[in-house]
A and B are shown apart, each in its own frame.
Chain A
Amino acid sequence: MTEKMKWSKLYLFFVFILLYTPIFYLILFSFNEGGTMNHFTGFTLEHYSTVLQDSRLIQIVVQTLLLALLSSLISSIIGTLGAIGIYYVKNVRTQEVLLNANNILLVSPDVIIGSSFLLLFTIVGFQLGFVSVLLAHIAFSIPIVVLMVLPSLEEINPSMLKAAEDLGANGFQILWHVILPNILPGILSGFFMAFTYSLDDFAVTFFVTGNGFTTLAVEIYSRARRGVSLEINALSALLFIASLLLVLGYYYLSIYSRRMKKVKRGVAE
């Protein structure tokens, strides 16, 4: 191993320590008997049992996940179609205007998006609740998806589209068999970006929740007024482990499917 490699590894190690220390610190204290984050006094699983018994908190977690999945699914469909639309605009000027209009939504502060949604729902007389939050989340996720999908659209070789056309494919067939498979990675990353944005959004949700519907972020914020209890630590630890398992599962699944493909190919040969 060269000297250079060593330093870069050390640097990488340092960055990961920096990123993960707060999370492990939080998880460590979820086992604290003392009831606060100040001193570690002893080991207990008590906070975990309170989380599992707190059916309201669990329901909030479920609703938060449901909201994130639904909003990212719908926004990736709308966003992908939108990106294809922008891609097909012939006039470069118009294309730029559309793209900038998209980016403005991306950089405008959440607080402004949230409060303007609240105003809109008020004027229209729309009930606050799950649907209002869902609509708001879809709205702020669409620009993200568009931004993630556009680069992979631009990577498509235009002669491929021409070829499909020449061979007699209609519009739908081109979309389904040529465009979509080529931009799949973009759609997936758009979906996951939208998912994480929706999952940890606070500001927009804060304005448009109501009538008993809350997300985890808003609930934790309301509870923090009286000091964050270790129950929240325990819940975060559980969520962290769940996402870790999800990532690991995805990793092994992709390795497995790659192997399966190789095996199939081997048989065919």
Chain B
Amino acid sequence: MNRLLQFMGTVVVFILLLLGVNLYLSHSSGAATSDTLTIYNWGDYIDPDLITEFEEESGLKVVYETFDSNEAMYTKVQQGGTKYDIVVPSEYMIERMIDEDLLHPLDYAQIEGMEHLVPEFLDLSFDPGNQYSVPYFWGTLGLIYNDKLIEEGSITSWADLWNPEYSDRLMLIDGAREILGLTLQSLGYSLNTKDLNELAEAEAKLSELAPNVKAIVADEIKMYMIEEEAPIAVTFSGEAADMMWENENLHYVLPEEGSNLWFDSIVIPKTAQNISGAHEFISFMLRPENAALNAEYIDYSSPNQTAIEEFIDEEVVSDEQFYPNLADVEHLEVYKNLGLEYIGIYNDIFLKFKMK
């Protein structure tokens, strides 16, 4: 029977060894205090150096966890077994979380640096008066094309997608609001419309797009575009920046008719334990030099005006596709929560389109 005991002993020794390493790592990676700040963010969505710097400065130990979709994050926060101090959802999810009373209102006496933010990005419909959220990154929905396969500059608007020349060459992201929204905008309507006539018109217009569509895909769009599987795709600006970094033949276009403006913002959930630490973190991320470091690491557009003007590389900021002059593009619209009934209508129209 010695062998069984021997084996179990070895396993236990390994377990103790790993426990030791784990303890050592969690002590050496942060400050020695027991005060922690738990951050729940998208995967690979912060410059890790900033976390280290924040730990040294505040004396708090940062516990960092990642999610891959707003819905996954929502489930974890809503079910209540978690104690995240900082979460970074997208704007439509923030609206939903406010409605369901899952967020802790921000205390502006404890936050420094709100004046650095671009004024146009404050007080938006999903969170009036920024009672609950502070913008982290933002972007648009647009077109990306490959100049080896499509003449440079020949695409400038959503309407160009309907060009019969592009038969079977288009990749779309799989999102009802995105695709129907761009159709509405190409017709000159709001992407938040509740007018059934406008929606019917958009449905008819959308069905004309079907011959041009090669595929409707999700995140894989990035890989396909880099591999030059398709010449044109509809995608988000942040994803586009990643793709352009990998393949220099790609160009991002912010369509003339306007676009959807999206945000990922910092919020504090109701279940947070370290409210003052969370406020401290928000102030830390609002500092222009930190916002700039983060934007350069992630390659998304920063909402921090001072960072844009003084810290981020001139060449990046002058790119109008990623930092458009907000006055020029009139129809940059944020998605509004349309209510279940209209979301159903949007989804039905998109589903009919997909069936074709």
A and B interact: yes
Residues of A within 8 A of B (CB): 35-36, 38, 54-56, 58-59, 62-63, 65-66, 69-70, 73, 118, 121-122, 125-128, 132, 176-177, 180-181, 184, 187-188, 191, 206, 209-214, 219, 221-227, 229
With A128-B76, A211-B84 already in contact, the answer to whether A38 and B25 are too (CB < 8 A) is: no
Closest CB pairs A-B (n = 7): A222-B43, A212-B63, A222-B66, A128-B81, A210-B82, A223-B43, A66-B18
Find chain A residues with CB under 8 A from B81 CB: 121-122, 125-128, 132, 210-211
Rounded to whole Å, the gap between the CB of B219 and the closest CB of chain A is 6
With A59-B22, A132-B81 already in contact, the answer to whether A188 and B7 are too (CB < 8 A) is: yes
Find chain B residues with CB under 8 A from A38 CB: 226-227, 246
Rounded to whole Å, the gap between the CB of A187 and the closest CB of chain B is 7
With A65-B18, A73-B8 already in contact, the answer to whether A36 and B65 are too (CB < 8 A) is: no
Q: Chain A contact residues: over half helix, strand or loop, or mixed?
A: helix
Are B19 and A66 in contact (CB-based, < 8 A)? yes
Pick the contact of B68 from A181, A191, A210, A221 — CB < 8 Å? A221
B251 within 8 A of A: no
Are B66 and A219 in contact (CB-based, < 8 A)? yes
Find chain B residues with CB under 8 A from A125 CB: 80-81
Q: Chain B interface: which size bin?
A: 35 or more
B33 within 8 A of A: no
Pick the contact of A62 from B25, B63, B246 — CB < 8 Å? B25
Interface residues of B in 58-79 (CB under 8 A from A): 63-68, 72, 75-76, 79
Contact with A along B221-254 (1 / 0, CB 8 A): 0110011000000000000001000100000000
Q: Name the residue among B72, B79, B80 with the largest chain A CB count within 10 angstroms.
A: B79
Are A211 and B83 in contact (CB-based, < 8 A)? yes
Rounded to whole Å, the gap between the CB of A251 and the closest CB of chain B is 16
Residues of B within 8 A of A (CB): 1, 3-4, 7-8, 11-12, 14-15, 18-19, 21-22, 25-26, 28-29, 36, 38, 42-45, 48, 63-68, 72, 75-76, 79-84, 219, 222-223, 226-227, 242, 246
Assembly CA distance A176 to B75 (angstroms): 47
List 14 extra interface pairs beyond A36-B246, A128-B76, A188-B7, CB under 8 A. A35-B246, A55-B29, A66-B18, A73-B11, A73-B12, A181-B1, A181-B3, A212-B38, A212-B63, A222-B67, A224-B68, A226-B44, A226-B242, A229-B44
Are A70 and B84 in contact (CB-based, < 8 A)? no
